[in-house]
Structure 1
Amino acid sequence: MSEHSDYFGALAEKLRAAGMPRSEVTATVAELTGYLTESGSADPYEEFGAPEDFAARLTGGRAAQEPGAEAETWKWTADIYTDRKHLNHYGDQGWEVQGLDRLGRFVCRRDPAAAMRWEYRRESANNAAERDAVSAGLAPDGWEPCGHWMFFMYFKRPKAASAGPAAELDDLVAPPAKQLFLGTTYRGKLKQMVGAAVVSGTGTAFAIHYGGDPVIYPALIGAAVAAPAAMVLAWHRVKREVAQGVEDA
C-alpha cells in the first residue's frame, strides 16, 4: 500500500469527512487496496478517479448529480455474502450484467427503451473444463454465463423465464451513486484477518527491536506463527461458507 498511500490517505480523509464511520473507512480502504494489488494497476486515479469524486460516489454524496434513468452503464461490486442479493435486486430494476472487469466489478447495462427484469445465480468452478460443464448443465433452463471472477461463475436470464408477465418493467429507477457494497458478515471476516496480521507483525517487531528476556521469546514467536495460521483458517472458512451458499442475514 505504500506506493499508493497518498491516494488512499486522501480517500480515507474524504470518506470520514462525508460521515462514514472510522471502522468502515478502514475496511473500505483495505478492500480497495486489495483490488488494486490484484489488478496490477499502478495508478489508482485511473482505476477509481480522483479521491474526492470516488469518496462522493461511495457515500452517495453525488446522488443528486447522478444521471437519471437515461444512464445506460453502471459498474459496482459486492462481497460474496451479498453479491446475489444485490444482483437480483438491481436485476429487478433492469440492470443486465455484461461481464466482470479486472477488478471484479459487475459491468451492467440498461436500455431505457427496452429494459427488462433480470435474475442471477452464482456457481463455482476451478477450471475451464468445470466452467464448461456447469454452463452446459444450466443452459436448458435459460441460464447464460455473464462473467467469472476467481472460481466464482455468474449466470443471468430474463426474469420472464420464471415470472412470465410479472417480469415486465414499466418504470425505471435511477441508477444508484454507490459502487461498493460490503455486508456485515464480510466486514467481520475482514477485521479478523486484518487483526491477525497486526498481531503477527507487532509480535515479531517487538521481539526484534526490544530484545529482552529470552523467556518471552516462545510466546512472541508463538503469536507470530499463530496469527498467519489464523488468517489461513479464516480464509478456508470463507471458502467453505461460499460453497454452502451462506449469505448476510
Structure 2
Amino acid sequence: MTETTDYFDALATALLKGGMAEPAVSATLADLRGYLTETGTAAHEEFGPAGEFAARLAGGAPAGEPVAEAETWKWTADIYVDRKHLNAYGDQGWEVERIDRLGRFVSRRDPEAAMCWEYRREVTGIKDRTAMTEALAPEGWEVCGQWLYFQYFKRPKAASAGPAAVIETPPEAPGRRLFLSGGYRKQLVATLVAVVLCAALTAYAVGRGANVTAILIGAAVAAPIGGLLGWYAVKRDVLTGAKES
C-alpha cells in the first residue's frame, strides 16, 4: 500500500509540473487506482517509472515544461465494430491510452500536434499476453488496452505514411460515446424478448393453477442456459473475426 501511495504521489507531482490541471490529475489518478484494483497489478509494474508515465500522459513533454491543452474522449463499442471505429478515429488523431474499468477506450488528441494512429485487436489468454506483445513489438505495435481476453494494440502511422500521417486541421471531437452494431442490438432484443416471453408464460401457467415451484425451477435452469448460449455466440464471433457488414 505504501509503495502504491508513493507512486501516485510522485505521479501527481509530475503531472502537475507537466501542466495538467489539478482536477484532471485527480480524475486521472482515480481511474488509474480503479484500474489497478481490477487487474491486481502493482503500479510500477503496470505503468513503469512515474516520471516517464507522467510525460506520456501529459503528451510527452518534459516535466516542468508547459504542454498544450489536449482533448480527451472516452467511448466504447461492441466487438463487431470496435476495430472499425478505432481505426476511423485513429485517422482523426485519437490515440487510445488505455481501457478503463468500465471498458471504455480512453483516448487523447493534441490539437497542436495531431497524428494518425492505427489499431489491431488480438484474442489472448492471460498467460499469452506477454508473448503476443513481444511478437508484435518489432512491427511497432504496443499494447494500449486489455479487456477480458482481448488485447488492443496501437502504432503511429508516421512509420508507414510519413508526413501524410500528420493532421493539420483535426475534425471536431465526436459527440457520441457509444457505438453498437446492428448484430449486437439484435442479440439484446432477442434476450429481452426471451425474458418477456418467459415472464408471460409463467404468469399464464400460474393463472391456470400450475405448480409454481416447478415453474420457478424451470426458469432458473433456462435463464443461465440462455445466457451461456448468448456468450458462446459472441465468443464464436470473436474467434472467427466476425465484423459488422
Distance 2:200 2:107 in 1: 43
Q: Secondary structure at the match of 2:172?
A: coil
Match of 1:241 among 233, 237, 241: 237
Compared CA separation, residues 74 and 105, structure 1 to 2 (3 A):
same
Q: Secondary structure at the match of 2:137?
A: helix
1:152 offset after TM fit, Å? 1.1
Residue deviations 1:210-231, cap 9 Å, x none? 35256x9989976774454233
1:206 offset after TM fit, Å? 4.4
Compared CA separation, residues 172 and 204, structure 1 to 2 (3 A):
same
> Structure 1 stretch 85-94 or stretch 129-138: which is displaced more?
129-138
Q: How does 1:1-249 map to 2 (within 5 A)?
A: 72-127=71-126, 129-207=127-205, 209-212=206-209, 225-226=221-222, 228-249=224-245
Distance 2:204 2:134 in 1: 55
Q: Secondary structure at the match of 1:178?
A: coil
Residue deviations 1:172-213, cap 9 Å, x none? 101011111111011011112222233334434544x43525
Letter of the structure 2 residue corresponding to residue 106 of structure 1:
F
**Bigger Rg over Cα:** 2
Q: Secondary structure at the match of 1:108?
A: strand
1:165 offset after TM fit, Å? 3.5
The alignment covers a number of residue pairs equal to: 178
> Structure 1 stretch 191-200 or stretch 100-109: which is displaced more?
191-200
Please say if residues 203 and 220 of structure 1, whose CA atoms lie closer than 8 Å, have aligned partners that are also in contact: no
- Give the aligned CA root-mean-square deviation in angstroms: 2.7
Residue deviations 1:103-159, cap 9 Å, x none? 1111111111211100001112221x2111111111110000001111111110001
Question: TM-score normalized by structure 2?
Answer: 0.64
Stretches of structure 1 that go unaligned for 5 or more consecutive residues are 1-38, 40-69
Taking only the aligned residue pairs, the percentage that are identical comes to 57
Compared CA separation, residues 231 and 196, structure 1 to 2 (3 A):
farther
**Counterpart position of 2:11:** none
User: Larger relative CO (CA 8 A, sep 6+): 1 or 2?
Assistant: 1
Distance 2:124 2:108 in 1: 26
Q: Secondary structure at the match of 1:172?
A: coil
Compared CA separation, residues 220 and 105, structure 1 to 2 (3 A):
closer
